[in-house]
Structure 1
Amino acid sequence: MQENQYSTSYLKASSAVKNAATVAVALDEFQQHYPVDFVTFHLARTIVDSVDAPFVRTTYPDSWVSRYLLNDYINVDPIIREGFSRQLPFDWREIDIPDSAHQFMVDAEMHGIGGNGVSIPIVDKSRRSLLSINSQMSDEEWTAIERQFLPEWTELGFLLHRKAVFELHGENDPVPALGTREVECLHWASRGKDSKDIAEILGLSEHTARGYLKSARYKLGCPTLSAAIAHAVHLNLITPHMSNPN
């Protein structure tokens, strides 16, 4: 996004989000700078589970949050389930609402939760997060607002993601930034493949495959490859249940 494409709302919101002490405060700032009703941020701990001990902050009213938790609506919320399986932003009107979520949708409307919204999936390292913006506007009004601000909201989503990770872990983020090839090499090593096999599977030289395994081991802080594989599985960077693409 080029600097001259930023709106005044974005410039103010991004500064406020960066300077906010917590994610909760950042969401309040976000909401104040855009014509939206509510903003919610979910950070799941890994990308292999849909919702794994999530970190959740929202500007929804306390009465609705209490109702949501009391009824365990996270298990039927179609936006959450869809959001943690998608890669790209999606308008809520795209989602087919299953019968199991009917009561949830009725309850949400009764608590003043608008029917229009957009959710923005964010993937970083082994984590997924979801930024959702909700509105009580008409379909026509919402379509125009979403079209105007979605690129900015996506940028703000990444700022919120980094702030949430820092709020949870500070400077000691337990998940290292492994490259795609390092993860792939660890995955195949966990399947019992040696560097020669891995090189053939991935179309690399054996020397390069060994290099990726070595750098992954160093980043994970492990003395041996087997320890690195075990640690990567523990962090859900790889999983022994991944299907063999061949």
Structure 2
Amino acid sequence: MFFKNELINKKVKEYLEENMLKNHKNKFGYLVIHKKDFHHICIISNCPEWFDIYLEFNHQLIDPVVIKALSRVEDFEWDENILISSKLALPKVLDQAKTYDISRGHTFVLHDYKQNLAILSIFDDRPLKTNDFFIDREKMYLLLVKTHQKLLSLYEKFEIPTKKNIGLSKRENEILHWASIGKTYQEISKIIGIKECSIKFHMKNITNKLGAINSRHAIKLAYELKLLKQISYAF
């Protein structure tokens, strides 16, 4: 499940509410979306009624704020104009958002090492003619960074006991050992006497077993979880 632990998410929400600085009374939405599959989404917010509808209709697939955040690293303000100018058919989204007084806001963006897009949006429910929607951008961006790191850290601690039950086969352990000391696939192929394509196949299986991003990440996780076993050298 994609960041679906209720206890962890409750802690993150409390952390956000405690540190929302000057705009703590504003509605906010902290969204984490996997950039390769937008159906993997986690939302932590103080306006759950709106985001329940948001998830029900998969609005993240067409949300112009999310789409804009994908190609940015800098924060940005938005209002109804960004929704209208997106050229997407969004009348239903607009109407639903207005029901919950969400028609403009300020969004902060973070791209993490797990291919996730993390955004923190602060919503302003005052009339559009009001121009005093003040946001301390530096502090709010730092809050997003700290919140997201807290989320990742809590989930890594939560996942470790489960991953300890993952076992590597003798062949997988052998390949991971040689890869961990810097050997290339071609070199490993010569050392253990199997084809290079087989090395790649085993490494892909190892990566999938550990839920790693790539082979380097798999090696790091294997060390942390003490999955690597000593191998005997036959020279």
Fold shared per TM-score above 0.5: yes
TM-score w.r.t. structure 1 length? 0.56
Gaps of 5+ in 1: 1-19, 174-216, 239-246
What does 1:20-39 correspond to in 2, within 5 Å?
22-31=11-20, 33-34=22-23, 36-39=25-28
Gaps of 5+ in 2: 1-8, 161-178, 186-198, 216-235
Partner of 2:154: 167
Contact in 2 for aligned 1:42/1:55 (Cα 8 Å): yes
Secondary structure in 2 aligned to 1:54?
strand
Backbone CA RMSD of aligned residues = 3.9
Larger-Rg structure:
2
TM-score w.r.t. structure 2 length? 0.58
Q: Identity over the aligned pairs, expressed in percent?
A: 14
- The Cα of 1:22 is off from its aligned counterpart by 1.3
- The Cα of 1:237 is off from its aligned counterpart by 5.3
Secondary structure in 1 aligned to 2:147?
helix
Residues of 1 paired with 2:39 and 2:145: CA distance?
A: 19
Give the partner amino acid of 1:123.
H
What does 1:11-160 correspond to in 2, within 5 Å?
22-31=11-20, 33-34=22-23, 36-45=25-34, 48-49=35-36, 51=38, 53-60=40-47, 62-93=48-79, 95=82, 96-113=85-102, 115-126=103-114, 127-139=116-128, 141-142=130-131, 144-146=133-135, 149-160=136-147
CA deviations over 1:181-220 (Å, ceiling 9, x no partner):
xxxxxxxxxxxxxxxxxxxxxxxxxxxxxxxxxxxx54xx
Q: Quick one: structure 1 residues 21 and 112, their matched pair in 2 at CA, closer, same or farther if it must change by over 3 Å?
A: closer
Partner of 2:175: none
CA deviations over 1:71-94 (Å, ceiling 9, x no partner):
232222221222233222111147
Residues of 1 paired with 2:133 and 2:100: CA distance?
A: 25
Residues of 1 paired with 2:143 and 2:31: CA distance?
A: 14
- The Cα of 1:121 is off from its aligned counterpart by 1.2
Contact in 2 for aligned 1:120/1:154 (Cα 8 Å): yes
Q: Quick one: structure 1 residues 44 and 75, their matched pair in 2 at CA, closer, same or farther if it must change by over 3 Å?
A: closer
Q: Quick one: structure 1 residues 35 and 169, their matched pair in 2 at CA, closer, same or farther if it must change by over 3 Å?
A: closer
Partner of 1:9: none
Residues of 1 paired with 2:140 and 2:13: CA distance?
A: 16
